[in-house]
């Protein structure tokens, strides 16, 4: 949707920490993915990232992950529509997990895919990979 850019970040709480808001307004959302199942605990999955098919398959087994992402989309979409009505130009959304390689990457990727399919202008940055 013209006029509003949604900047999305994945990050690790124990790595780079919560990203600074690039527009300096301190606004937006920070979603904590650390309560979700962690593929890092499976030695066969540890070296992959949330971009890899093995991690995508891992998370597809959990309805809770889909529900979490859907809830994040609803909140951000409501904010974005309000921002558009008020002529705001930017919304920042960040997804964090412990190391920033699995859960936050997967969730931010799916989140962006959904918002793009709804016509939003989205820019995605993975801080740890």
Assign 48 to helix, strand or coil. Answer: coil
Residue 83 to residue 122: CA distance in whole angstroms: 14
**For the chain, what percent of residues have pLDDT higher than 90?**
88
Residue 62 C-alpha from the chain's centroid:
17
Q: What kind and span of H or E run contains 121?
A: strand 121-126
Residue 90 to residue 92: CA distance in whole angstroms: 7
Give residue 33's pLDDT band: very low, low, confident or very high (50, 70, 90).
Answer: very high
Residues 73-86 as b/e (b if ≥16 CB within 10 A, e otherwise) read beebeebbeebbee
| pLDDT of the residue at 26 | 65
Residue 52 to residue 126: CA distance in whole angstroms: 14
Examine the pLDDT at 22 and tell me if it is beyond 90.
no
**Rounded to 5 degrees, what are φ and ψ at 62?**
-115, 115
């Amino acid at each position: 949707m013209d006029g509003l850019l949604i900047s999305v970040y994945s990050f690790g709480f124990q790595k780079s920490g919560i990203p600074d808001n690039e527009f300096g307004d301190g606004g937006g959302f920070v979603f904590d993915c650390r309560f979700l199942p962690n593929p890092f605990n499976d030695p066969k999955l540890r070296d992959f990232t949330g971009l890899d098919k093995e991690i995508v398959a891992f998370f597809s087994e959990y309805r809770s992950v889909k529900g979490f992402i859907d809830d994040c989309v609803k909140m951000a979409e409501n904010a974005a529509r309000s921002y558009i009505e008020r002529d705001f130009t930017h919304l920042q959304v960040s997804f964090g997990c412990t190391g920033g390689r699995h859960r936050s990457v997967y969730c931010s990727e799916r989140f962006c895919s959904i918002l793009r399919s709804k016509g939003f202008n989205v820019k995605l940055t993975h801080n740890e990979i």
